[in-house]
Amino acid sequence: MAVTHLECKECKAHYPLQALYVCERCFGPLEAVYEHQRDGRDVGELRRRIQGGPQNIWRYADFLPLAEGPPGPSGRLASRVGLPAGCTPLIRADRLAERLGLREVWVKNDAANPTHSFKDRVVSLAAARARELGFEVIACASTGNLANSVAAHGAALGLDSYVLIPADLEEQKVLATGVYGTKLVMVDGSYDDVNRLCTELCAERRWAFVNVNLRPYYAEGSKTLAFEIAEQLGWEIPDRCVVPVASGSLFTKIAKGFDEWRELGLLDGQLPRMNGAQAEGCAPVASAFLAGHQVCRPVKPDTIAKSLAIGNPADGPYALDVARRTGGSIDAVSDEEIREGIALLAETTGIFTETAGGVSAAVLRKLADRGEIERDESVVLLITGDGLKTLDAVRGSFPTYSIAPTIEAFEATVPEGVAAV
Amino acid sequence: MPVLVKIPTQLRPAAGGAAETEVDGATVQEVLDGLFDRFEELRARIYDDDGSLRRFVNVYLAGEDIRFLDGLSTPVADGAELTILPAVAGG
Ligand SMILES: Cc1ncc(COP(=O)(O)O)c(C=O)c1O
Ligand SMILES: [Zn+2]
């Protein structure tokens, strides 16, 4: 076990590896700290050890905050326990690159997880830690994708679950949560209201709220995206990553993942430029970036990108720091640009993403249009969720042809010679 | 009638174990000052060195973040509920 304790990101006070998330002295967030024993292994051996692991995030168990290593009867069986997440495709997107006037664009398609979003990474970890700590109930405050994942992991692991969501979420996300037999609570309010309620409930119940009292463990799961990207690029760090931002946890932990592997010598070179992506209708981090502020002023969200609709982002200050430190940015795009982003990705890669992916695709386009991306840069676009969960975003966005089943009707109605776009 | 202040678990040891307490005051600031008069240790937990709210502390008046109201100068009515919570959850 390499993880040693939790530490306050603000005042550096130490805490034990329990269900704790906030510093009692200064209210800062707690984060897992590691001490890696290399036991004389060189970089080649470290890499081979990872490559010999299961085809899911547990191949990175050495770098994650579990006391007992990968969950399951044994490490070797880990790939078959629960709902293993990760090892999603990294796809070279030449047609997308060409459209944007770039040379090397990769799409990390994290919709290819068990419940179709990157949240399975963070929930796998939080649920495993919850079991280690003896919890029998997992719970969350969710903008939708987390809800799907917590409900499904509860079912897979035989843990009861409570999922709290804003009542106005997309129907697809509601249905794809309730089906797992969770206690689904629709709250009359915004995500920030749900989050406040869960913070209060957390003090009253002995439950593992994955993104409240288990947040230090949960958040570390997002590092596995950096690990996978680096491994899939042949142990290389890309020049730039474009990442959607809600609370800012995913964004900051991707940077942390690359950083930890640099420190261990597993990777060389600089951190990628980290470009965060928000919707204009909920852009507290992008606004603070533009204004040069170090903290975010909360907003009341109004956007089709409901999965990113967090008006009071917990990791806002750290996301700003990562963007500035790496020469990146946090940008915002309109709902119209989000829809165009979804179409752009679908038409050039065959990947259908939800609104959050539309936000990152649209921000990539914006950066390319602004001429900020050098031609020889390698760029990774993070696609964190599936288009089938936000169908309203594409409804009515393309023509269809309704005909009688005859050749004549076909020839009279359907235009021919439509080349691929 | 005073204002009901709800204290988060993380701060209860510094408030004699209380989960809530009643304090008089006409603004959020006055209520918090009244709270610190009673539990001096809380001041440094909630305020930073220049006497403003620490960046990871959220204060809600009847469920609304005071940053959407008038911040520390927000008026509070008798019988109102003021909730202090950590800001580092969610996502
Ligand atoms: C699809 C998708 N992408 C990205 C995010 C952003 O995550 P974070 O809160 O870690 O910034 C979310 C959060 O809910 C999400 O559902
Ligand atoms: Zn601290």
Ligand 1 atom having least distance to the Cα of A253: 10
Q: How many domains does chain B have?
A: 1
pLDDT for residue A421: 47
Pocket test for ligand 1, best of A220, A250, A363 (most atoms within 8 A of CB): A250
Ligand 1 and A384: CB distance under 6 A? yes
Calculate helix-pair angle for A145-157, A119-132, nearest 10 degrees. Answer: 40
CA-based nearest residue in chain B for residue A308:
B91
User: With 80 as the cut, is the pLDDT of residue B31 above it?
Assistant: yes
Confidence of residue A39 (pLDDT cuts 50, 70, 90): confident
Q: Where are the beta strands (DSSP E) in A49-153?
A: 90-92, 104-109, 137-141
- Cβ atoms A360, A244 nearer than 8 A: yes
Residues of A with Cβ-Cβ distance to B10 under 8 angstroms: 22-24, 27
In this prediction, residue A329 carries a pLDDT of 98
A379, A365 contact by CB (below 8 A): no
* pLDDT confidence bin for A303, thresholds 50/70/90: very high
Contacts of B6 in chain A (CB under 8 A): 200
**Residue of chain A whose Cα is closest to the Cα of B47:** A26
Partner-chain residue, chosen from B9, B13, B90, that has the shortest CB–CB distance to A247: B90
DSSP letter at B11 equals G
Contact call for B88 and A29, based on CB within 8 A? yes
**Domain of B9, in residue numbers:** 3-86
Distance in Å, alpha carbon of B2 to nearest chain A alpha carbon? 22
Dump pLDDT digits (tens) for B54-84.
Answer: 999 999 999 999 999 999 999 999 999 999 9
Domain ranges of chain A: 90-116+219-393
Q: The tokens of A239 are what?
A: 């020049």
What's the confidence (pLDDT) of residue A40? 78
pLDDT of residue B18: 94
Instruction: Look at residue B76 and tell me if it is in a domain.
Output: yes
Q: Is A25 exposed, middle or buried (0-12, 13-18, 19+ CB in 10 A)?
A: middle
Average pLDDT over residues A317-340: 98
Q: A198–B8: do the CB atoms touch at under 8 Å?
A: no
User: Does B18 map to a domain?
Assistant: yes
How many CB atoms neighbour CB A329 within 10 A? 21
CA–centroid distance, residue A11 to ligand 1 (Å): 27
pLDDT tens digit sequence for A161-188: 999 999 999 999 999 999 999 999 999 9
Asked, for residue B66, whether it belongs to a domain, the answer is yes
Predicted local confidence at residue A73, as pLDDT: 62
Amino acid A350: pLDDT: 98
- pLDDT of A420 reads 47
Site of tokens 């165009």: A340
Question: B87 to chain A, minimum CA–CA distance in Å?
Answer: 6
Please choose, from the candidates A222, A411, A22, the residue with its C-alpha nearest in 3D space to the C-alpha of residue B88: A22
* A362 at interface of B, judged by CB pairs closer than 8 A: no
Using the predicted structure, report yes or no on whether residue A191 has a pLDDT greater than 70.
yes
CA A249 from chain centre, in angstroms, equals 8
* Nearest CA-CA partner of A390 in A244, A226, A219, A229: A244
Q: What integer is the mean pLDDT of B1-12? A: 93
Cite the DSSP H helix spans in A264-349: 284-291, 316-325, 335-349
Give the span between the Cα atoms of A281 and A272, in whole angstroms.
27
So what's the pLDDT on residue A79?
57
Check pLDDT > 80 for residue A407. Answer: yes
Q: Is 90 exceeded by the pLDDT of residue A76? A: no
Fold of A90-116+219-393: Rossmann fold (3.40.50)
| Cα A245 to ligand 1 centroid, rounded to whole Å | 6
Round the average pLDDT of chain B to a whole number and report it: 95
| pLDDT for position A75 | 57
At A36 the pLDDT is 87
Q: What is the CATH number of the domain that holds B19?
A: 3.10.20.30
Over 70: is that where the pLDDT of A416 sits? yes
In sequence order, what are the beta bridge partners of A276? A243, A330
Cα separation, A282 vs A312, whole angstroms: 9
Strands A90-92 and B64-65: unpaired
**Taking CB atoms and an 8 Å cutoff, what residues of chain A touch B13?**
24
Report the C-alpha gap between A34 and B53 in whole angstroms. 31
Q: Over the stretch A131-148, which tens digit does the pLDDT of each residue have?
A: 999 999 999 999 999 999
- Look at A21 and B65 and tell me if their CB atoms are within 8 Å: no
CB B28 within 8 A of CB B58: no
- Lowest-pLDDT range, A75-89, A256-270, B62-76? A75-89
Q: Does residue A78 register a pLDDT over 70?
A: no
Mean pLDDT of chain A: 95
> How far is A134 from B81, CA to CA, in rounded Å?
34
Better-scored residue on pLDDT, A188 or A417? A188
Question: For residues A101 and A397, what is the distance between their CA atoms, to the nearest angstrom?
Answer: 25
Residue pLDDT, tens place only, A203-234: 999 999 999 999 999 999 999 999 999 999 99
Residue B87 DSSP SS3? coil
pLDDT surpassing 70 at residue A77: no
Rg (CA), chain B: 12
Look at residue A81 and tell me whether its pLDDT is greater than 90.
no
pTM flag (> 0.80): yes
Question: What is the distance in angstroms between the Cα of A43 and the nearest Cα belonging to chain B?
Answer: 34
Contact state of B56 with A248 under an 8 Å Cβ cutoff: no
